[in-house]
Structure 1
Amino acid sequence: MKVVVQVKLMPEADQAAVLRSTLRTVNEAATWVAKVAFEHGVPREYELRKHTYAELKARGLGAQAAQHVIKKTRDAYTTLKANIRAGNYGRPGSKRRVKAESKPITFRPEAAQPYDDRCLSWNLDARTVSIWTVAGRLKNISFACSPDGLGLLASRKGESDLIERDGMFFLIATVDLPDPAVAEPERFLGVDLGIVNIATTSDDEVMAGRGLNRHRKRQLELRKKLQAKGTQSAKRLLKNRSRKEMRHSKNVNHIISKKIVTEAERTGRGIALEDLTGIRGRVRLRKPQRVTLHSWAFAQLGQFLTYKAKKTGVALVFVDPAYTSQECSDCHHIEKKNRVDQALFICRACGVVAHADRNASRNIAARGEAVWIAGRESRVPTAT
């Protein structure tokens, strides 16, 4: 399994200026390479290198840096093509899809730049790095990292990404760890993800989203006031508060995911989640509701649950979300009228009254068990 370790660089003022200049140079070059690729119909990486390598060297990029710029540009087009094929930019002819297909990719000045072991070396004992820049190699740049992260860096292999965020520099290293054995689950813990209740488990535990939604509402109102004010101090405060809501939401998701995985591990169960891929594109809401939907960090919570479960050897499956909120977990009768409102579920067939999210989580748990059994049976070799 792959684990990402983030370390914060602590360069001197002159070193920070060089790192900033390096990121801007390589990303300007990547934007130029993307334009060339677009004009030539996005050729393969080897062909793209023929059109761009000499110019990249002339712009002051080292051999490895030039190769990485070409590769990250080609990878960006591969990702764009995959998203278009998956329908993430809408149907053919839609405004968003036409816009994505009709112009070359551009890179932000502070976008990530990959470094391999030829361009970046680590001294874990001294907690310093040596890194290539357009002004030459910078040596003995200190970095800060958690003790756990430092231990993981010892088994680091491959590339690391340099990024700039709010004037600070970070290295994102990917560590490849052996996959722990997945324990055979006795049962499954169903998890229903929502906006009013962030997560509801089939153990009837509800992680309410009232606090997070209030925080988001306060942040939205504050941003409106500061934007309306428009003074230099208001703009400075807006910049200082940027991503505050995102960090708070991320912390909440970390806490919830850890709690769910710990409970599943303690009880020897697996975890069942709904596959909510593409839900934002499928759901149609009134304008006042769109902010709430697009602020819903369900994908991040799903990612946290996935990697924490994998790290601890807990089985995790994704199930079809269709009708989980309309199906009775007792008699399995499906009817739209069963879902009375956001919180109340009353089965029209057997009369069961339940909390709607708790009922849905039990359906998810049952589907998770069925999916796991089907997968387990498919792995049994056929008799010869």
Structure 2
Amino acid sequence: MKMVVQVKLLPTPVQASALEATLHSCNEAASWVSEVAFAKDMKRNFALREHTYTEIKQRWGLGAQAAQHVIKKTCDAYRTLAANAKAGNLGKPWSKRYRRATQKPIAFRPEGAQPYDDRMLSWQITERRVSIWTVHGRVKDVAFTAAPEQLATLALYRRGESDLVYRDGMWFLLATCEVPQAALNTDPAGFLGVDLGIVNIATTTDGQTMAGRELNRIRVRERTLRTKLQKKNTPSAKRRLKKRRRKETRRARDINHKIAKHVVAEAERTGRGIALEDLTGVRERVRLRKPQRATHSSWSFAQLGSFIAYKARRAGVPVVYVDPAYTSRTCAECGHIDKANRVSQAWFACRSCGVVAHADRNGSRNIRARAEELWRRGAQSTAPDPPPKPGRGTGRKRSTTTSGARCASPSL
């Protein structure tokens, strides 16, 4: 399986100047290639190369490999744009956002990432040095730092391209690694159900709860501070906003990694699979009052699910995605479904059999039961079902059974 290892470069001022000039030249060339591709309606690599390759080398002084990567990066950007438009991520075709994205050429930021292959970049991992191509010539002995585990992964499994990234005044290399994965456990001893939520980020059928109350308080405090600084709009406020802009994102990513690692380790230790809700399109299906929207949309459940999926895939743990419909209203003991069963955010009380339980744990048990039923039917696949095509009339009614679920060996 593919993994990306991020290492931090420690260039000297002269080396950093050469790297910055390289990114600016490559992205300026990519923006020009994008204009040519848009004007000629030509988004394929080889066809576009005939019209741009020679001028890129002459006009910006890029090498052969760099010029080809610039063209490829442009084609990949248009391919991504087309995929987002097809999936409905840009809104309806008549919306302002859709027209703004599709009716003009793609522009690349001056400091956007640039891919490198082994002809342009060589690693000396034991010495923690890289030699990298720039528009000012080959820059050698650029120091980098990484954790011991990252160094071991780079030395054993690095394959393919690496991306040069400039972010928040720091330089990084994102190296692609082909890491071996364990054989998939095709006979799990049950499933570990995981219920995702806002107050409790993740609750398992074992009763383990990853609480989010403190995190929600931090997010509210950060959002309030952000609003005050934006209203103040002074130079010092802008500097402070710039400094804090990725703080919440980094914290959320770190917590999602820790939760995913814990869930996968527990499932691997007990020989079980993992059962998750298929939350695709949940923001479009749920209607919320305005004060609730920021809280509901601020946590990255898709990121947490992807972290669980790739960590499970590496460990050989199967992951099953089930239909989340009515899991919070269904009694895990008798199966009675009633909106009144959910007496509060924290507690569940069945109106039929009278059982009282923690609401999120009851939901995780329902998720586990649906996953086990799906697994018994033998409904297995190597990848999750693709999302439905966007357009009118594509919405489907949620079922209370597991017929709408999907079962997959985890993929990323």
TM-score bracket for this pair, using the shorter chain length: over 0.9
Alpha-carbon RMSD across the aligned residues, in angstroms, is: 1.9
Equivalent residue for 2:336, pick from 333, 345, 361: 333
Residues in 1 aligned to 2:237 and 2:127: alpha-carbon distance in whole angstroms: 41
Task: Give how far 1:294 is off.
Answer: 2.2
Amino acid at match of 2:242: K
- The alpha-carbon distance between structure 1 residues 353 and 317, as it changes in their structure 2 partners (threshold 3 A), is same
Mapped to 1, the partners of 2:268 and 2:154 lie a distance apart of 26
Q: Does 1:44 align with 2:44?
A: yes
Superposed counterparts of 1:13-92, under 5 Å: 13-57=13-57, 58-92=59-93
1:50 positional shift: 1.6
Structure 2 CA distance for partners of 1:73 and 1:371, relative to 1, 3 Å = farther
1:179 to 181, 184, 192: 181
Structure 2 gap ranges (5+): 383-412
8 Å CA contact retained: 2:210, 2:259 = yes
C-alpha contact (below 8 Å) 1:111/1:164 kept by paired residues: yes
Partner of 1:273: 276
Name the residue aligned to 1:288. 291
Which residue matches 2:308? 305
Cα distance, 1:241 vs structure 2: 2.0
State the shift of 1:377 in Å. Answer: 7.4
Secondary structure of 1:200's aligned partner = strand
Distance in 1 separating the partners of 2:152 and 2:334: 51
Relative to structure 1, the CA distance from residue 94 to residue 371 in structure 2 (aligned partners, 3 Å threshold; closer, same or farther) is: farther
Compared CA separation, residues 264 and 245, structure 1 to 2 (3 A): same
In the alignment, what sits opposite 2:389? none
2:266 is matched by which residue type in structure 1?
E
Q: Which moved more, 1:238-247 or 1:113-122?
A: 238-247
**Residue in structure 1 matching 2:235, options 232, 237, 250:** 232
Judge conservation of contact 2:180–2:314 (CA < 8 Å) in 1: no
Quote how far apart the aligned CAs of 1:305 are.
Answer: 1.0
Q: Does the CA-based 8 Å contact 1:42-1:77 persist in structure 2?
A: no
CA separation of 1:377 and 1:233: change in aligned 2, threshold 3 A: closer
**CA–CA separation in structure 2 for the residues paired with 1:240 and 1:313:** 40
Q: Tell me which residue corresponds to 2:109.
A: 108
Give the 3 Å change call, closer, same or farther, for CA 225–377 of structure 1 in structure 2: closer
Give ranges in structure 1 of 5+ residues lacking alignment: 380-384
The aligned counterpart of 1:382 is: none
Q: Quick check: 226-235 or 9-18, which moved more? A: 226-235
Offset of residue 218 of structure 1: 1.4
Q: How far off its partner does 1:378 sit?
A: 8.3
Q: CA deviation at 1:287?
A: 2.5
Partner of 2:356: 353
Query: Are residue 128 (structure 1) and residue 103 (structure 2) matched?
Result: no
1:307-328 per-residue CA deviation (whole Å, 9 max, x = no partner) reads: 2212222221222222222222
102 and 333 in structure 1: CA distance in 2 versus 1, 3 angstrom threshold: farther
Q: Which moved more, 1:114-123 or 1:248-257?
A: 248-257
Task: Indicate the SS of the match to 2:377.
Answer: helix
Residues 337, 171 of structure 1: alpha-carbon distance in 2 compared, 3 angstrom cutoff: same
Output the amino acid matched with 2:263: I
In structure 2, distance between residues paired with 1:66 and 1:87: 32
Seen in structure 2, the aligned counterparts of structure 1 residues 102 and 129 have a Cα distance that, compared at 3 Å, is same
Write the distance in 1 (CA, Å) between the matches of 2:378 and 2:91.
32
- Please list the CA deviations of residues 168-199 of structure 1 after superposition, one character each: whole Å capped at 9, or x if unmatched: 11000111022211223100011111111101
Residues 378/156 of structure 1: CA separation in 2 closer, same or farther (3 Å cut): closer
Conserved 8 A contact 1:339-1:346: yes
Aligned equivalent of 2:365, options 354, 362, 378: 362
* Corresponding residue of 2:119: 118
- Relative to structure 2, which stretch is displaced further, 183-192 or 288-297? 288-297
SS of the residue corresponding to residue 318 of structure 1 reads: strand
Cα drift, residue 357 of structure 1:
1.4
Instruction: Report the CA distance shift for 1:323/1:169 in structure 2 as closer, same or farther (over 3 A).
Output: same
The answer to whether the 8 A contact 2:181-2:315 is kept is: no
- Quote the Cα distance in structure 2 between the aligned partners of 1:197 and 1:27: 43
1:164 corresponds in structure 2 to 166
Q: How many residues align?
A: 379
CA offsets, 1:39-78, max 9 Å, x none? Answer: 2224321111122212211222111111111111111111
Pair 1:190-2:193 in alignment? yes
User: Is the partner of 1:351 in helix, strand or coil?
Assistant: coil
C-alpha offsets along residues 181-231 of structure 1, whole Å, 9 cap, x if unaligned?
122310001111111110111112221111111111111122223233333
TM-score (norm 1): 0.93
Tell me if the contact between 2:43 and 2:78 (Cα under 8 Å) persists in the aligned partners.
Answer: no
Deviations 1:150-174 (A, max 9, x none): 1111121110011001111100011
